[in-house]
Amino acid sequence: MAATPPPASWQHTTVLLVEAVDALVTDPDGIYVDATYGRGGHSRRLLASLSPSARLIAFDRDPDAVAAASEGDERLDDARFSIRHARFARMAEELAERDIAQVDGVLLDLGVSSPQIDNPARGFSFRFDGPLDMRMDTTRGESAADFLARAGEQQIAEVIRDYGEERFAVSIAKALVARRTGGHGVRTTAELSQVVAGAVKTREPGQDPATRTFQALRIFVNAELEELEQGLNAALALLRPGGRLVVISFHSLEDRIVKTFIARHSKSVYDRRAPFAEPAPVRLKALARVRAGEAELRANPRARSAIMRVAERTDVPLGAAA
């Protein structure tokens, strides 16, 4: 275990900052959503790119992120900016309460922020010992430790296999249940790392044996893939024609969902049950797939796995000009 970093070092370097904002903003006077505020890197850049009459609404389910946006030096422009403590899947309902039915752009940065990873109390990282929590929203839900304390071997194995793509999922689940049965269930990140290290036979060079298991439990505890599906649908419903959807993902499961979603809504679909009915309109146009450049990778290795996809809202019937 590495030495615990001091809170002053819990700084977040925003990935694909310039690329994301440049892709998102089509109308500097518009209304935009930063659906995953984190520590505000994208929001600050957006506000610098928008006019005095524009509006930016941010969401984050991490109360620490919301507090950081509302207090001290990180406080942003109150006239144009506001933040809600809410899941981004609820963005449409939250904006309806403000009489906002359409927006000009929605940004989703799906990565875990550095302050979450570097704070041992949050339990996201195997590098520092701390309580095995992993909840994005610490005010509700079941922690990773609580899940492992009550779940059966088969369910644990399925979670680690499906969300972590871990080929030793069954062995890890057996080891976790055996430890729990012996009266020593895992409650800390160090304990989980030790169990996984004993159950994983081999691992890719440079990768900690616990990497995939920690990823899997975090995704499961926070229902991240379900949240992403719901959030993409909410964003599409909010975007006005010509509005942009920008999504930055950090692992293959997320990117696959984003890629499939954009592809599905980029095609006009006939209802086979009603062959003479008009087809559903094309609702999105894929614009770009972007990776971090060499300069950013040298400055921020966490950007290496990032993939940004950009799409534009367009309701075009089959055969019509785009």
Boundary-marking domain end, from 219, 242, 274: 219
Same domain, 104 and 232: yes
Predicted local distance difference test score (pLDDT) of residue 10: 47
Q: Is the pLDDT reported for residue 204 higher than 80?
A: no
- Beta-carbon contacts of residue 321 (< 8 Å; ≥ 6 apart): none
pLDDT one-digit tens code per residue, 219-275: 999 999 999 999 999 999 999 999 999 999 999 999 999 999 999 999 866 556 666
Q: Are 230 and 106 members of one domain?
A: yes
Distance CA 132, CA 121 (A): 8
Residue 119 domain-assigned (yes or no): no
Q: What is the pLDDT, as a whole number, of residue 322?
A: 42
Instruction: Answer yes or no: are the C-beta atoms of 139 and 63 closer than 8 Å.
Output: yes
Q: What is the pLDDT of residue 171?
A: 97
pLDDT at 278 over 70: no
Q: What is the pLDDT of residues 102-133, one digit of tens each?
A: 999 999 999 788 788 889 999 999 988 999 99
Q: Which of 16, 10, 2 is nearest to 250 (CA)?
A: 16
Percent over 90 (pLDDT), the chain:
76
Do residues 211 and 283 both lie within one domain?
A: no
Total domains, the chain: 2
Q: How far apart are CA 69 and CA 47, in angstroms?
A: 13
Please state, in angstroms and rounded to a whole number, the distance separating the CA atoms of residues 185 and 179: 6
- Where residue 175 sits, what CATH number does that domain have? 1.10.150.170
What pLDDT digit, counting tens, does each position of 84-108 carry? Answer: 999 999 999 999 999 999 999 999 9
Same domain, 212 and 256: no
Say whether pLDDT at 31 is over 90: yes
Contact 216, 224 (CB under 8 A): no
**How many Å apart are CA 162 and CA 169, to the nearest integer?**
9
Q: Any idea how long the chain is?
A: 322
Structure tokens at 83: 């933040």
Average pLDDT of the residues of the chain: 90
Q: Model confidence at 280, in pLDDT bands (50, 70, 90)? A: low
Range(s) of the domain holding residue 196: 140-219
Confidence of residue 318 (pLDDT cuts 50, 70, 90): very low
Q: Cα-atom radius of gyration of the chain, to the nearest Å?
A: 21
Phi, psi angles (nearest 5°) of residue 311: -140, 155
Distances, alpha carbon 145 to alpha carbons 139, 187, 217, in Å: 15, 5, 10
Token pair for residue 310? 């950009």
Which of 150, 184, 219 finishes a domain?
219
Q: Do both 27 and 63 map to the same domain?
A: yes
**pLDDT of 277:** 62
Angstrom distance (rounded) from CA 43 to CA 285: 24
Q: What is the CATH number of the domain that holds 18?
A: 3.40.50.150
pTM for the model stands at 0.89
Answer positive or negative: Cα dihedral of 38, 44, 49, 53: positive
Distance CA 86, CA 59 (A): 6
Amino acid sitting at position 140: R
Question: What's the average model confidence in pLDDT over 15-33?
Answer: 97
Q: How many angstroms separate the CA atoms of 149 and 176, rounded?
A: 9
**Same domain for 258 and 285?**
yes
Q: Give percent above pLDDT 70 in the chain.
A: 89
Three-state helix/strand/coil letters over the chain: CCCCCCHHHCCCCCCCHHHHHHHHCCCCCCEEEECCCCCCHHHHHHHHHCCCCCEEEEEECCHHHHHHHHCHHHCCCCCCEEEEECCHHHHHHHHHCCCCCCEEEEEEECCCCHHHHHCHHHCCCCCCCCECCCCCCCCCCCCHHHHHHHCCHHHHHHHHHHHHCCCCHHHHHHHHHHHHHCCCCCCEHHHHHHHHHHHCCCCCCCCCCCHHHHHHHHHHHCCHHHHHHHHHHHHHHHEEEEEEEEEEECCHHHHHHHHHHHHHCCCCECCCCCCCCCCECEEEEEEEEEECCHHHHHHCHHHCCCEEEEEEEEEECCCCCC
Final residue in a domain of this structure, among 196, 219, 242? 219
